[in-house]
Amino acid sequence: MDNGAESYRRFRENGDETELDKIITDYSDGLMLYLTSIVGNIHIAEELTEDTFVLLGTKKPKFREKCSFRTWLYTIGRNKALNYLKKTSRHPAIPIEDTAGLVSDEEAVEEAYIRKEDMITVHRAMRRLSPEYQQVLWLTYFEGLSNKEAAAVMKKTVRSVESLLYRARRSLRTQLEKEGFEYENT
Amino acid sequence: MKTREEMIRDIHRRIREYEAERRKKRARAAVITASLTPVCGAAVLGTVLLKGGMLSPSAPPVITPDGGSQVTAELTTEGFTSGSTEIPAAETLPVTTASFSDVTAATETENVEETSAAAVQTEAVPVTTDAAEGAEAPAETAAPAEDNTGTGMTVPTEQPAGNADRLLISSYPSPGSESMTAPRPGHSGMAWHLYEAKEEYRDTADYHVKADIFTESDQVLDAGMIQAEAERLSGLGYDVKVESEPVQTGGDYYYLAFVMTYEQLEDFPASPEYGYVLRLYDY
């Protein structure tokens, strides 16, 4: 699906807005869910997703193809999210009991984006984890990024991403077990 | 939560707003540059005259006793002699400087010109130096309301309803292009000359403005629709009426005619159904 680089090049060079629409269509849901794992609120993540695409449309930053387009886009989104957190000085994680109203919206996006039932269960369990665990699991399992790409997005070393991923997996497993999820293999 | 289509639409709207704002900033910078150029020119001219001794009490008079219909200026400086130049009053530039405060007071009844080699080569543009009579500067610029030789601004003899004490701008000299794309419904666009006039006079004047209105695809020429729009705007406090002009191909061309304040121009309440092109009445 990663035709984003080509679409973005055409948008940037020819001003073809339909190419930007394609990018938004292909990447908005994934980016929004990823940013939700950072800011802990899908509505704010939606605004930040929009901000990310507005930045592409206005500043038109150059994509240098040092990584995949998705990695690059998610890095921009992550920077937006971190700036947002810095400005509002909010803790990225919000207590689960406060999220009741947000969950239905997130579920709608989640279901549209993640089509497999068991993956949805996993994603919902992920919401109980710390933001860093959520991010690394999201990037590697749902977005299919390699450890190296995830490290680039999260601005960490590959080694620390591997370590984070190991701990995140263990936490996720504990969480899934609590919810009665059965593994076919471990 | 927005649908994807709503998100795409909002993103494009925000991109357009950003680009419009950027264009506006560029235009503002261009206007500032354009307005500073004559001021700097006047400063240089003043310096040259000062150094040349023209502004000293012993200098020969620059105003002829016949009320300034002709001016003879003779510059003699050490390294530079311009000789004597005669210029018809209508083609010259009214200039007020600190050393000519007595002359400034006479501008309403007399044409006062100050010429030099530099001024002769310069296109006529309105110049009011900062030093000239301090706070009276805007009034001097606006003063020739019935004297169209100075600023290039014209005011109709019969002014439309408005504040009679205020300056009413109906035209403005501008080298900018007058052709523009019809704005999309819900937006308005100003012709360059109107924008420049607005930026120069801001809320010290009212603006006599014509507006054409457009739908997504075409200009609205139906008198009834234009009348309805005039009524809507009138309800919002705008001094507006529908006017028409005959067209060569037959029938009439209808448009909206306003007398607007600066704030009304700034905050023009575009209907979501129409796009508006605003321009000065006598552009």
Is B152 inside any structural domain? Answer: no
- Is B33 a member of any domain? no
Is any Cβ of chain A less than 8 angstroms from the Cβ of B20?
A: no
Whole-number pLDDT of residue B156: 40
Supply the range of the domain harboring residue B237. 161-280
Give the model confidence (pLDDT) of A6-62 as tens digits.
999 999 888 888 999 999 999 998 898 889 888 888 889 999 999 999 999 998 888
Q: Which of B4, B7, B11 faces A57 most closely, judged by CB atoms? A: B11
Looking up residue A170, the CATH number of its domain turns out to be: 1.20.140.160
Co-location of B167 and B86 in the same domain? no
B16 to chain A: closest CA residue = A58
Query: Do B138 and B165 have their domain in common?
Result: no
A7-22: pLDDT as tens digits: 999 998 888 889 999 9
Using a CB-CB distance cutoff of 8 angstroms, which residues of chain B are in contact with residue A25?
Answer: 4, 8
**Cβ neighbours of B19 in A, within 8 Å:** 58
Dist CA A4 CA A69 (whole Å): 6
Q: A61 lies in a domain?
A: yes
In a domain, B28, yes or no: no
> Looking at the predicted structure, is the pLDDT value of residue B125 above 60?
no
Pairing between β-strand B252-260 and β-strand B239-246 as defined by DSSP bridges: antiparallel
Quick count: other Cβ atoms within 10 Å of Cβ A80?
23
CA separation for the pair B72, A33 (Å, rounded)? 79
| Higher local confidence (pLDDT), A116 or B211 | B211
Q: Which A residues, 86 through 125, put their C-beta within 8 Å of a C-beta on chain B? A: 105, 108-109
d(CA B111, CA B69): 6
Q: Is the per-residue pLDDT at A162 higher than 70?
A: yes
Whether residue A183 lies inside any domain: the answer is no
User: Which residues make beta-bridge pairs with B184?
Assistant: none
- Closest to A148 measured CA to CA, from A137, A163, A159: A159
Asked if the structure places residue B26 within a domain, the reply is no
The answer, yes or no, to whether residue B64 has pLDDT greater than 60, is: no
Residue of B1, B2, B5, B17 for testing the chain A interface, max A β-carbons within 10 Å: B1
Please name the amino acid found at residue B43. A
Residue A158 has pLDDT above 90, yes or no: no
Among the three residues B86, B115, B142, which one is the final residue of a domain in this structure? B142
Q: Stretch A138-152: mean pLDDT, rounded?
A: 86
The pLDDT score that the predictor gives to residue B208 is: 93
Its ipTM equals 0.70
pLDDT score, position B242: 92
Residue A21 lies in a domain: yes
Instruction: Note down the domain range covering A16.
Output: 4-178
A18, A25, A53: best mutation site toward chain B, by most B Cβ within 10 Å? A53
Query: Is A152 within a domain?
Result: yes
| pLDDT above 80 (res B73) | no
Pairing outcome for strands B205-214 and B167-169: parallel
User: B270 and B174 in one domain?
Assistant: yes
Q: Is B15 on the interface with A (CB under 8 A)?
A: yes
Mean pLDDT of chain B: 68
- Sign of the Cα pseudo-torsion (A49, A50, A52, A56, in order): positive
CA–CA distance, B200 with B193 (Å, rounded to integer): 11
Determine, yes or no, domain membership for B165: yes
Q: How many domains does chain B have?
A: 2
What average pLDDT does chain A have?
81
Residue B178 confidence (pLDDT): 60
Return all residues near B113 (Cβ < 8 A) that are at least 6 apart.
B68, B71, B87, B89, B92, B93, B94, B95
Does residue A11 lie in a domain region?
Answer: yes
Same domain, B195 and B253: yes
B28: left (phi over 0), alpha (psi -120 to 50) or beta: alpha
Distance CA B51, CA B129 (A): 18
Average pLDDT over residues B227-248: 89
State the smallest CA–CA distance between residue A57 and chain B in angstroms.
Answer: 6
Same domain, B135 and B167: no
Q: Which residue has the higher pLDDT, B56 or B192?
A: B192
CB contact under 8 A, B1 and A24: no
In a domain, B151, yes or no: no
Does residue A9 lie in a domain region? yes
Q: pLDDT at position B37, please? A: 80
Residue whose entry in the numeric block shows the structure tokens 């002709």? B70
Quick one: what percent of chain A has pLDDT higher than 70? 79
Q: In this model, does residue B83 exceed pLDDT 80?
A: no
- Our CA-based measurement puts residue B16 at a distance from the nearest CA of chain A, in whole angstroms, of 9
Residues B66 and B127 in one domain: yes
CB contact under 8 A, B1 and A105: yes
In the predicted structure, residue A94 carries a pLDDT above the cut 70? no
Measure the CA angle with vertex B34, ends B145 and B53; round to 5°.
80
Position B257 confidence tier, pLDDT thresholds 50, 70, 90: very high
Q: Is residue A186 part of a domain?
A: no
Chain A CB within 8 Å of residue B6 CB? no
Let me know if residue B9 belongs to a domain: no
Give the distance from CA A107 to its chain's centroid. 15
Number of folded domains that form chain A: 1
DSSP A139: I
Note the pLDDT tens digit of each residue in B137-181.
Answer: 333 333 333 333 334 344 443 445 555 677 889 888 876 656 677
Position B249 pLDDT exceeds 80? no
Question: Nearest-CA residue of chain B relative to A28?
Answer: B4
In chain A, which residue's Cα lies nearest the Cα of B18?
A58
Q: Quick check: B55 pLDDT over 50? A: yes
* Exposure class string for B74-113: b at 16+ Cβ within 10 A, else e: ebeeeeeebeeeebebeebbbbbbebbeebbeebeeebbb
What count of other Cβ atoms lies within 10 Å of the Cβ of residue B216? Answer: 10
Q: Based on the domain organization, do B273 and B166 belong to the same domain?
A: yes
Helix-strand-coil split of chain B, %, nearest 5: 35, 20, 45
Q: Is the confidence at residue B44, as pLDDT, over 60?
A: yes
At which of B91, B115, B142 does a domain end?
B142
Check pLDDT > 90 for residue B27. Answer: no
Q: How many CA atoms lie within 13 A of B167 on its CB side?
A: 25
Asked if residue B6 belongs to a domain, the reply is no
Judge whether A114 and A123 are in contact, CB under 8 Å.
Answer: yes
